[in-house]
Amino acid sequence: MDLGSAAPATGAEWIGQPPHEELRRGERPQLPTDDPFYEPPVGFQHAKPGTVLRTRDVELAFLGLIPQRIKATQLLYRTTDMHDQPEAAATTVIVPAERGPEAVCPIISYQCAIDAVTSRCFPSYALRRHAKAPGAVAQFEFLLIAAAVAEGWAVSVPDHEGRRGMWGAPYEPGYHVLDGLRAALDSERIGLSQDAPIGLWGYSGGGLASAWAAEMSGTYAPELNVVGAVLGSPVGDLGHTFRRLNGTLMSGLPALVVAALADIYPELNRVVQEHATNDGKALLQRLHDMTTAEAVIRMAGKNIGDMLDQPLEQILNTPEVRHVFDDIKLGAAVPTPPVLIVQAVHDQLISVDDIDALVDTYSAGGAHVTYHRDLLSEHLLLHPLSAPMTLRWLRDRFAGRPLSEHRTRTKWPTLLNPSTYTGMLRLGLITAKVLTGRQVDRQPLSELDQ
């Protein structure tokens, strides 16, 4: 039951919100930081995690401009932050017009690479019609979300960074993902079955959030039927990634992480306040309002060490900073569901060595890991190229097919797999429908990767 229209057993008075009314022609949706929909009702902390607090129907559009003929419902739900305190988050749930042949409609939780602090990059805003979010990665990832819908599956797209854009925070991205699934399954308005098999999928920053969800699922939400998780280039070790990217063309990404983590960890914020130059502090503040692409462009080639009064390596080796980097590293728990990890050997952003180490950690802990270690692709290209393989693997998990015992660390490259190009043609057809605003019919990519 949606608590936007009912009183909880605790007796607290819930502040409900009526179903969403379509925006007037040309009117922009409010940013999540300004939209009252995202403000949880009084007493929400007494509800159990995953409880729906508010619902509304929304209109989605590719790049905010091309309206999509697709049914989307947004849910505000009760969840938990990294300190086990009550929090609220939102997810956008898309139900296909034509469902797959399964008796119960599967559901995918697709984690976008938000990779920013500003709420302009949250999927619940960036995917909406008239959203002004240039440089938000979620707007481009809608093409892969549409591919999952074309499988005949429902898709939950959570704001896994929460309401405050906690990019890089540990644990809570997993809580937000899992509670978003609880909310989607519990919502009478959406009408999904509690028995629905669940898959997780994300790449890069979305892969990191998906990994936290896979790690947390067994203890935090054991009742959810999570049958598989696809972790695309899931970062693994943000501390190593910071050192790898700082001073490069992609230095905006580690700078965004520092801006967010300084909000999360008081001890890191003290280090910033004591050792950052005035220009450095001002830049970190400006990063709170930048989309992912904007930060990458503005920070290209900049070295954070130039904004400190001590050598960067000396700062990174302080106990406060080492604690933060240790705390945010994946591998805190072993995933309960089987996982498919996709990683390019020649990835210019995420070190394959970090992902090799994560695979070893998961495998040593008893997790079932299938590792596609691609020899020819790079970071950006591998995500769409691996989509047919990813969707086939998830389809097999939904169908209950046995897992392969062949867990090789190096796979035949996707660029040399003929089915990749057949899948790209099908993805091209789906993309054409998205670009022209036509309904995305059932066109499974998964059937093209055999």
For residue 270, give its domain range.
238-327
* 322 and 350 fall within a common domain: no
Name which of 101-105, 291-295, 347-351, 435-439 the model is least confident about.
101-105
Give residue 25's pLDDT band: very low, low, confident or very high (50, 70, 90): low
Sheet bearing 339-344, strands edge to edge: 52-58, 71-80, 86-95, 154-158, 107-111, 198-203, 226-232, 339-344, 369-374
* 55 and 164 fall within a common domain: yes
| Section 237-245 average pLDDT | 92
* 171 and 69 fall within a common domain: yes
**Distance separating alpha carbons of residues 396 and 400, to the nearest angstrom:** 6
Answer yes or no: is pLDDT of 344 > 90: yes
Question: Rounded mean pLDDT of the chain?
Answer: 91
- Is 136 a domain residue? yes
- Is 31 a domain residue? no
Name which of 101-105, 228-232, 349-353 the model is least confident about.
101-105
* 196 and 54 fall within a common domain: yes
- Is 9 a domain residue? no
Distances (CA, A) of 221 to 48, 76, 215: 12, 18, 11
* 149 and 43 fall within a common domain: yes
Name which of 20-24, 162-166, 218-222 the model is least confident about.
20-24
- Is 8 a domain residue? no
* 304 and 336 fall within a common domain: no
The confidence score (pLDDT) of residue 352 equals 95
Helix (H, G, I), strand (E, B), or coil: what is residue 70? Answer: coil
Backbone dihedral region for residue 96 (phi beyond 0: left; psi -120 to 50: alpha; all else: beta): beta
Give residue 450's pLDDT band: very low, low, confident or very high (50, 70, 90): low
Angle between helices 266-275 and 278-287 (to 10 degrees): 140
Name which of 76-85, 317-326, 420-429, 432-441 the model is least confident about.
420-429
CATH, residue 267: 1.10.260.130
The torsion angles phi and psi of 344, rounded to 5 degrees, stand at -85, 135
* 129 and 182 fall within a common domain: yes
Maximum separation of any 2 CA atoms in the chain, in Å: 62
Examine the fold and report which residue of 298, 327, 356 is the final residue of a domain before the chain moves on. Answer: 327
Answer yes or no: is pLDDT of 20 > 50: no
Examine the fold and report which residue of 290, 308, 327 is the final residue of a domain before the chain moves on. Answer: 327
Q: Which amino acid is at 442?
A: R
Answer yes or no: is pLDDT of 189 > 70: yes
* 397 and 311 fall within a common domain: no
The confidence score (pLDDT) of residue 54 equals 97
- Is 73 a domain residue? yes
Q: How many domains does the chain have?
A: 2
* 263 and 361 fall within a common domain: no
- Is 228 a domain residue? yes
The confidence score (pLDDT) of residue 306 equals 94
Give residue 415's pLDDT band: very low, low, confident or very high (50, 70, 90): confident
- Is 219 a domain residue? yes
Answer yes or no: is pLDDT of 6 > 80: no
Rounded to two decimals, what is the model's pTM?
Answer: 0.92
The confidence score (pLDDT) of residue 144 equals 97
Those residues whose C-beta lies under 8 Å from the C-beta of residue 282, and which sit 6 or more positions away, are none
Answer yes or no: is pLDDT of 7 > 90: no
| Section 198-224 average pLDDT | 98
Q: Which amino acid is at 136?
A: A
* 258 and 218 fall within a common domain: no
User: pLDDT digits over 26-73, tens only?
Assistant: 688 999 999 999 999 999 999 999 999 999 999 999 999 999 999 899
Radius of gyration of the chain (CA): 21
**Pick from 253, 256, 259: nearest CA to 241:** 253
Answer yes or no: is pLDDT of 257 > 80: yes
- Is 10 a domain residue? no
* 184 and 289 fall within a common domain: no
CATH, residue 117: 3.40.50.1820
* 156 and 298 fall within a common domain: no
Examine the fold and report which residue of 327, 356, 385 is the final residue of a domain before the chain moves on. Answer: 327
Give the total residue count for the chain: 450
**Distance separating alpha carbons of residues 235 and 429, to the nearest angstrom:** 31
**CB contact at 8 A, 165 and 119:** yes
Angle between helices 238-245 and 252-264 (to 10 degrees): 140
Give residue 103's pLDDT band: very low, low, confident or very high (50, 70, 90): confident
The confidence score (pLDDT) of residue 302 equals 93
The confidence score (pLDDT) of residue 10 equals 31
Answer yes or no: is pLDDT of 447 > 80: no
